[in-house]
Structure 1
Amino acid sequence: MIRAAALFVAVLTGSAASAVTCETVGFEGLSYSVCDVDPARDELALFLRRGDGTGLGSFAALAAERPEQTLRFAMNAGMYHPDRRPVGHYVQDGVEVMRLLTNESPGNFGLLPNGVLCLTDDSARVYETLAFAEAAPACRDATQSGPMLVIDGALHPRFLADSDSRFIRNGVGTSDAGDRAVFVISDQAVSFHEFGRFFRDGLGLPQALYFDGRISRLYAPDLGRNDAGFAMGPMIGVFE
């Protein structure tokens, strides 16, 4: 384990002087970039299109939407079609763009159970999709992705400890109270099992949701990160 104790505490507790705390954390010999957000204090929101309806697609375009503010953190936030439409349920500023999908389907998104990240003005919670459908929470913003990484403290039942499927992966974990959201991207290729264990055992989070493993990007000035690549669909970020 290459995690330093002081660094680990800093990631878990956050910093009162900063809207978002981003750190590099080691766990079980692997390295992760971790951004810890307080939804009650930080302006955490989803982004997909400009005001004129055209797709954003990049961190630079997102930052340009609010030139009077500073983008502190951003990450891709859910799978999308070639035209960048969200694959699953997507809500932004209370407007539903895509309905909730509950059936099994090909690819990682349909590797059930999958889940939904639900944002309100002061909370962020990951729900398993069927639990989300039953609870019907009032989300200001929501994005559906899959698979779930951690469900009520347990790893996804189809993850294999000896899997050789490894990618740069990113996702989000939340506390049950919804008062903490932690966004993670692996610094090297990892398996689903390794990635889920980091959220559960390394960060102590009971719920975690996978965002992607081929188009995983992070904007974190504190870490010198402004990842470039193909145009993205949904993004999540914090402006200060």
Structure 2
Amino acid sequence: MKYRVFFAAFAMVALTNCSDAPSGDAVVTVNLDGSPNSDAPSQATAKMPMSGPSACRSVNFEQVPLTHCVADPNDHHIGMVNLAADKKPFGSMKAFADNVDPDAIAFAVNGGMYGDDLKPIGYYVENGNRFSELDRNGGEGNFYMKPNGVFFGTGSKWRVLGSNTFFKTIGDRPEFGTQSGPLLLIDGKLHPNIQNDGPSKAIRNGVGVDSAGKAHFVISEAPVSFGQLARYFHDEVKVSTALYLDGQISSLWDPANQRLDNKRIGPIIVVTKRKKAASE
């Protein structure tokens, strides 16, 4: 049975989240350098119906293949999902895709760090409801590689901010938000603990918002260093602040390109097509 949930503020079609148990990807077990976990599940890609032009394209940067997806506030809405109708995490992009109308989806990506229960770690807001508080504590793993940050937004305005800046400056609860870490770029500069091209390379993805308000999601198709991914956001995407989303579990659903990754994931960022008025 297909489920359909409309996010009130931006008419988004999606379902609440669900996912399988993680395989070594909980924030408490993520390697600081993002190196692969031997227990990480393999990726399976399923064929999906074509659904109009894709918002994603293939690029190469420093000899690394990447997929670059763009959410345009004129054309798209963004929201978060984590739990399905049975109140259990979806656990995979495929499980989510099985419960929504693919024609409504521009694309979807994994949406930040999570615990053993596949529920978010750190700040998490879905459809205006806050399910997890901002985490400003210390710890081990990529999430606690300070400064970390929050990707959030309301309506067609989306931002990435460092967690401390978010805490000090954002008073109103956004319609969606997810905390992850580390920040890849801070005010146009690489995170101080990220090397230009460190020895650790893994599948990785991140997000940044440009000066025009477009949200850029980048996922590597081959192992990439933190520095390379950060430089792509700096040199090619032209954003001043970019946030790392996750490593080996990085996943994408792009219905138009018939791509459906099937790794085990927690929260999901869903980009839906905006319904335009007949006069537009």
Please tell me the TM-score bracket, short chain as reference. Answer: 0.7 to 0.9
The number of residue pairs the alignment matches comes to 221
Residue number in structure 2 paired with 1:77: 111
- Check if 1:197 corresponds to 2:197: no
Q: Does 180-189 or 50-59 show the bigger shift? A: 50-59
Per-residue deviation, residues 66-123 of structure 1 (Å, max 9, x unmatched): 3385322111010111110111110111111110011221000000010000121111
- Check if 1:58 corresponds to 2:75: no
Alignment partners' CA distance in 2, 1:170 and 1:71: 19
- Check if 1:145 corresponds to 2:180: yes
Q: Does 66-75 or 209-218 show the bigger shift? A: 66-75
Alignment partners' CA distance in 2, 1:54 and 1:112: 30
Alignment partners' CA distance in 2, 1:175 and 1:198: 13
Give the superposition deviation at 1:152: 1.4
Alignment partners' CA distance in 2, 1:134 and 1:169: 29
Residue number in structure 2 paired with 1:41: 75
Q: 2:266 aligns with which of 208, 230, 233?
A: 233
Structure 1 residues 19 and 121: CA distance shift in structure 2, 3 A: farther
Alignment partners' CA distance in 1, 2:101 and 2:92: 15
CA contact (8 A) 1:74 1:235 kept: yes
Alignment partners' CA distance in 2, 1:158 and 1:196: 12
CA contact (8 A) 1:148 1:210 kept: yes
**Which SS does the other structure have where 2:101 is aligned?**
coil
Percent identity for Structure 1 against Structure 2: 38
**Partner letter of residue 235 of structure 1?**
I
**Which SS does the other structure have where 1:133 is aligned?**
helix
CA contact (8 A) 2:54 2:257 kept: no
Q: 1:170 aligns with which of 198, 205, 211?
A: 205
Alignment partners' CA distance in 2, 1:91 and 1:19: 29
- Check if 1:181 corresponds to 2:215: yes
Alignment partners' CA distance in 1, 2:53 and 2:152: 20
TM-score, length of structure 1 as denominator length? 0.86
CA contact (8 A) 1:19 1:37 kept: no
- Report matched runs for 1:68-147 at 5 Å: 69-136=103-170, 137-147=172-182
- Check if 1:211 corresponds to 2:259: no
Residue number in structure 2 paired with 1:26: 60
Structure 1 residues 162 and 56: CA distance shift in structure 2, 3 A: closer
Alignment partners' CA distance in 2, 1:204 and 1:97: 32
Unaligned runs of 5+ in 1: 1-17
**Partner letter of residue 149 of structure 2?**
G
Alignment partners' CA distance in 1, 2:77 and 2:83: 18
**Partner letter of residue 134 of structure 1?**
K
Runs of 4 or more consecutive aligned structure 1 residues displaced over 4 Å after TM superposition = none
Q: Does 101-110 or 219-228 show the bigger shift? A: 219-228
Give the superposition deviation at 1:34: 0.6
Give the superposition deviation at 1:162: 4.1
**Which SS does the other structure have where 1:109 is aligned?**
helix
**Partner letter of residue 272 of structure 2?**
F
TM-score, length of structure 2 as denominator length? 0.74
